[in-house]
Amino acid sequence: MNATLTSTLRVYDETDGRKPLVDTTDRAEIARILGDQGIIFERWEASAPLDASSDQDSINCGVRR
């Protein structure tokens, strides 16, 4: 499997959960929106191959600094 992994941020209207206020995969926009709320958004490069079937322990080891 050779898939591109992306981050997605979706924020929905509090009174109408069908209406997205934000729907983006742009990492700079995600960082800006989350940063406005005091949240740090980072993307780490994996030091080991990971794919959709990787378990949590493999993911943690793959991104450990």
Return the closest-CA partner of residue 36 out of 9, 13, 15. Answer: 9
Q: Encode pLDDT of 17-39 as tens digits.
A: 898 999 999 999 999 999 999 99
Q: What is the mean pLDDT of residues 10-19?
A: 91
Provide the whole-model pTM.
Answer: 0.65
Q: Domain segments of the chain: what residues?
A: 9-63
* Identity of the residue numbered 8: T
- Cα 15 off chain centre by: 25
Residue that the structure tokens 């793959």 belong to:
62
